[in-house]
Amino acid sequence: MRAYTRPILVSGLGQEGESCQALEPIPLRSGAGGLTYTERWLQELLQRNPALLPVEQIEPALAALVPVCMELPLSCGYADNLFMTPEGGIVLVEAKLWRNPEARREVVGQVLDYAKDLASLQYGGLEAAVRRARSEPGCSLFQLVRGPDAAPESEAPFIDAVTRNLRLGRALLIVAGDGVQQSAEQLAEFLQRHVSLHFTFALVEVSLWRVPQTDQVFVQPKVVARTVQIERAVVRMEAGVAASPPEVTPALANSRPQTLSTDEFYDHLAKVDPQLPDRLKRLLGELEERYGVYPDVQRRLSLKWRSPTGREFMLGGVDREGRFVADVANDAANAIGRLDLSHAYQRLIANGLPGGSVRETPKPIGWRAVVDGKDIPISLMLDHQANWKAAINVYLDELEEFFKETESA
């Protein structure tokens, strides 16, 4: 059962006059009778305060939202809210009430149609739609998102990123409202309508509470459901003609979910070296199959392993510029009192690379493997991946032995 409990406002915490006051629930209404808290009110609230959207829980790469416009005109209707990120990420939000199952199906289907229309636009088409929504014929989408003082040389990369996201149908779609409910089966049915697009879809419930006898409103967002991987349509083509109907191929059971944050990370990595994403993905697949090591991608890729006790250990990180960061392995080892194990891991990494060494900082938790005194290019790690795998194998064996000894003690 999923339900919000009534929030309690505590005043004078820990003081003599401490008091508790229960907040009053506020339902969103359709607007009849002059009520204030309507869909339009929520739409405007989110546009003014994008931080109310829990995007960091859905797609961390898209967390830096910039409000662009409301009522974005598209072929099938008007999308409530358009947000973008300085890197060219796209977020569409629909603020809706949930009156009955029919309304829920209608709203979700409508949002997916918006995604289809969005994917049909070029950069100029999106900019023109934004100008119409804002009633500003001469406004620049680049300057709206990046600010009037943005460096002119950053405009071309921004346009390229937006164009690529539009072409791929890459966007975050959010339905936000009061009393959001939707079963996974219903969501899957809707998502199959647009299997050629690569979006993340999320349902966000926005619960409203009022401080009694004041105009203060407590807004409580909650992610109810989200997709992390859209199944792809595979069509066999013969002489330019589809020879068989689209088939939806489910992802492998042991494959990691693909997110927009992952896509964005690999896009940046490809700018360093177009071959890096595929090379790194192949290695990650081997590490997961052999050792249970898995990637966690947010602003950077973190390589993780989960111990028998459930504790996560970092084995390194890769940033968007293609640099391998080794010292992140020290934190979890230090937490169990075995910093010596991660230090030994750092030395094994360094010994397996030409010019490798361990930079020993005054604080032992900062020790890291480097090459010629600098952070290691991930391309070099991939060139010598057999040595890296051997280092990982030794480190994980030692950690597993440690946990066995701990259990038997």
Among 68-77, 83-92, 297-306, the minimum mean pLDDT is found in 297-306
pLDDT band at 261 (very low <50, low <70, confident <90, very high): confident
Mean pLDDT along residues 318-330? 93
Mean model confidence pLDDT for the chain: 83
Q: What is the pLDDT of residues 150-164, one digit of tens each?
A: 899 999 999 998 998
CA–CA distance, 151 with 145 (Å, rounded to integer):
12
Checking if the pLDDT of 87 tops 60, the result is yes
Confidence grade of residue 100 (pLDDT, cut at 50, 70, 90) = low
pLDDT tens for 117-140 read 998 899 999 999 999 999 999 999
Minimum mean pLDDT range among 39-43, 83-87, 196-200, 205-209: 196-200
pLDDT surpassing 80 at residue 358: yes
CA triplet 307, 313, 319: central angle to 5 degrees? 145
Banded model confidence at residue 253, pLDDT cuts 50, 70, 90: very low
Quickly state the pLDDT bin for 242 (edges 50, 70, 90). Answer: very low
Short-list 323, 322, 256, CA closest to 284: 256
How confident is the model over 45-59, as pLDDT tens digits? Answer: 999 999 999 998 888
Examine the pLDDT at 182 and tell me if it is beyond 90.
no
| pLDDT at residue 284, rounded to an integer | 92
Measured between alpha carbons, how far apart are the two ends of the chain, in Å? 41
| From 36-40, 229-233, 338-342, the region with the lowest mean pLDDT | 229-233
Q: Round to whole Å and give the CA distance between 194 and 289.
A: 31
Rounded distance between C-alpha atoms, residue 340 and residue 270, angstroms = 35
The type of residue at 15 is Q
